[in-house]
Amino acid sequence: MNALKAVGDLLAPRECLVCGRRLGVKETHLCIWCAADLPLTRYWTRIHHPMADRFNEVIERHRLPAGKEPYAYAAALLFYRSGNPYRRIPQAVKYHYNRAAGRYFGRMLGDYLSGAAHFKDVDLVVPVPLHWTRLFARGYNQAEVLARAIAQRLGVPCRDLLRRTRRTRTQTRLSVEEKARNVSGAFRLRRRTSARHILLVDDTFTTGATLYGCFAALRAALGEEVRLSVCTLASVTEL
Ligand SMILES: [Zn+2]
């Protein structure tokens, strides 16, 4: 395998996703220096942290008719900071067709989650869906690439439980409220499930509006009994 990689490296040298340094045979996606410095959130070790707080604020603000909503668990593998070269990891997975990196970092997140007590009983992993027109244009759903790798590590199934019924506007210039309105009602359940703890997966957590759109659709369709948690490859939140 290494010999094969070495030959491959001669033909098309592999580079570190973060610093661009040429990778050695034993390095995968990152050079040893960038791998040693990964900005891990370690959110999976705690129930309360800035990402979970922010997501639970969104839930609270929209208060579902069901009434009492338990504090939702959340986790991300890496911090996403503008200007920080590590942002190239989620960008590679989302925009640069790097599905292998998606699988690699998805497995890494899955391993961390499998060691966390509050994610132990997750029995289904569900990716945030892309609208079919976007899926057609990109060729793959980056959230699904991550979700499948996470599910594999957790030893549970991964299913496309949700469908994006309409294409939402580009979110970058919208306020949190506008984003939530933009995605509310954009997701529908496409099949039933008997899962008790569902883990929703997306590539990056910013305001939580998209994940909330999925959360609300699942809550409305599946009722109060199901626990809904979220995780992403990267999060813009701080320590
Ligand atoms: Zn590097």
CA of 96 relative to ligand 1 center, distance in Å: 17
Per-residue pLDDT of the chain in tens (239 residues, 90 and over written 9): 677 777 776 667 799 999 999 999 999 999 999 999 999 999 999 999 999 999 999 999 887 655 678 999 999 999 998 889 999 999 999 988 899 999 999 999 999 999 999 999 999 999 999 988 888 888 999 999 999 999 999 999 999 999 998 766 665 666 666 666 666 678 999 999 999 999 999 999 999 999 999 999 999 899 889 999 999 999 998 75
Closest residue by Cα to residue 130 from 139, 121, 119: 139
Q: Mind giving me the DSSP string for 33-44?
A: HHHHT--B--GG
**In this structure, are residues 75 and 44 in contact, taking their beta carbons and an 8 Å threshold?**
yes
The encoded tokens of residue 19 equal: 């610093």
The DSSP symbol for 45 reads G
Determine the angle formed by the axes of helices 88-95 and 99-114, rounding to 10 degrees. 120
At residue 175, the pLDDT reads: 66
CA of 147 relative to ligand 1 center, distance in Å: 25
CA distance 3 to 9: 10
Q: Where are the alpha helices (DSSP H) in the chain?
A: 2-11, 32-36, 50-62, 88-95, 99-114, 132-138, 142-154, 176-183, 209-222
Consecutive H or E run containing 197:
strand 197-205
Closest residue by Cα to residue 165 from 129, 125, 195: 129
Apex 114 CA angle, 35 and 231, nearest 5? 75
CA of 217 relative to ligand 1 center, distance in Å: 40
At residue 180, the pLDDT reads: 60
CA of 92 relative to ligand 1 center, distance in Å: 14
CATH topology for the 38-235 domain: Rossmann fold (3.40.50)
Determine the angle formed by the axes of helices 176-183 and 50-62, rounding to 10 degrees. 70
CA of 29 relative to ligand 1 center, distance in Å: 9
Which residues does 125 contact at the CB level (< 8 Å), separation at least 6? 147, 148, 150, 151, 154, 156, 157, 158, 159, 198, 199, 201
At residue 72, the pLDDT reads: 97
CA distance 32 to 1: 19
CA of 208 relative to ligand 1 center, distance in Å: 30
pTM of the model: 0.90
CA of 90 relative to ligand 1 center, distance in Å: 15
At residue 136, the pLDDT reads: 87
CA distance 56 to 79: 19
Domain residue spans of the chain: 1-37, 38-235
